[in-house]
Amino acid sequence: MILVTCAAGKTGQAIVKALVANGQNVRAMVRSNSSLEAVKAAGVAEAITGDLAISEDVLRAADGVDAVYYIAPNMDPNERLNGDNIIAACQACNVSRLVFHSVLHTQIEALPHHWERHFVEQSILNSKLSFTILQVGSYMQNMLPAWEKMAETGVHRMAYDIDAPMSLVDLEDVSEAAVKVLADDGFANGMFEIAGPVISLREKAEILSSILGKEIVAEKEPLDEFLDHGRALGFSDFTLATMAKMFPYYDMHGLVGSDKTLGWILGRVPTDFETFARRTAAAFD
């Protein structure tokens, strides 16, 4: 049995789907009762509710599982507490492997949500658990909520500079890599960068123009507009403050890794943006 935390989110659903398709028994941990039916529909063996910030909930979730695939809530002020609870539960329940779905470049102090995860990684390294840490880049799928608007208006907008280099990764590749890592003890005690090919917003727009048969223009969304939109959607003050630091960093540096490790794990070339965009366009037709 493999415990997957935050199983109802974008990442969690993709990981659960891949594990179930591979014949694995999955216990899905979600935050609220409203998410239970969604994960049950994905074919999990068990679905439970719990809060990662409550140690008793995490102990209950980890009881009797062989491995834990730890997905942490994104931009959470309880980052270190959540991590400590997962580690303690894995130790108490004699879990054979802890896989942490971390983030690319946790050593960047200017990105608070990356920096906080570097402390969780440090605690995992010192835990004496058998672990694997996957440092995952930004997803190609992050543009999907705005896909139809982009196709209609001819504008591909993100809140960072259109020439910022980003190592975008296909979440389906990430899920495939997660299945392989969990199935192979040879990945134990390793830290692996999971990133895709480098691309800019401008280059994405050129590819989208070719695929959609109409001009798509890359445009940077002003940060204050993005934050106002996030505030209207109910983003927490902590999340908004984190994003207010993240996008200016991206403007200057992007977020760049190497796709070589992911290619080695997959045994093939990682999915590039053009392949992802063609697949997505076909799905929206």
CB 178 within 8 A of CB 270: no
CB 131 within 8 A of CB 125: yes
| Rg from Cα positions in the chain | 19
Report whether pLDDT(161) > 90: yes
**Is there a domain that residue 222 lies in?**
no
pLDDT band at 221 (very low <50, low <70, confident <90, very high): very high
**Is there a domain that residue 243 lies in?**
no
Report whether pLDDT(125) > 90: yes
Q: What is the pTM of this model?
A: 0.95
**Is there a domain that residue 264 lies in?**
yes
**Is there a domain that residue 48 lies in?**
yes
- Which letter, b or e, does each residue of 166-176 get, where b requires 16 or more Cβ atoms within 10 Å of its Cβ? bbbbbbbbbbb
Contacts with 112 (C-beta within 8 Å, 6 or more apart), sequence order: 241, 242, 245
**Is there a domain that residue 248 lies in?**
no
Mean pLDDT value of segment 232-242? 94
pLDDT at 38: 86
Report whether pLDDT(184) > 90: yes
pLDDT at 34: 87
Q: What is the pLDDT of residues 3-62, one digit of tens each?
A: 999 999 999 999 999 999 999 999 999 998 888 888 899 999 999 999 999 999 999 999
Domains in the chain, number: 1
CATH number, position 54: 3.40.50.720
* Average pLDDT, rounded, for the chain: 96
Residue with tokens 């992050």: 142
CB 151 within 8 A of CB 117: no
> Shortest CA distance to 244 belongs to which of 149, 139, 113, 115?
113
Rounded to whole angstroms, how far apart are CA atoms 207 and 181? 32
Query: Whole domain around residue 73: which residue ranges?
Result: 2-137+170-194+257-270
- The proportion of the chain whose per-residue pLDDT surpasses 70, expressed as a percent, equals 100
- Residue 103: CA atoms inside 13 Å, Cβ hemisphere, count? 22
pLDDT at 285: 80
**Is there a domain that residue 278 lies in?**
no
pLDDT at 25: 96
Contacts with 208 (C-beta within 8 Å, 6 or more apart), sequence order: 150, 156, 216, 277
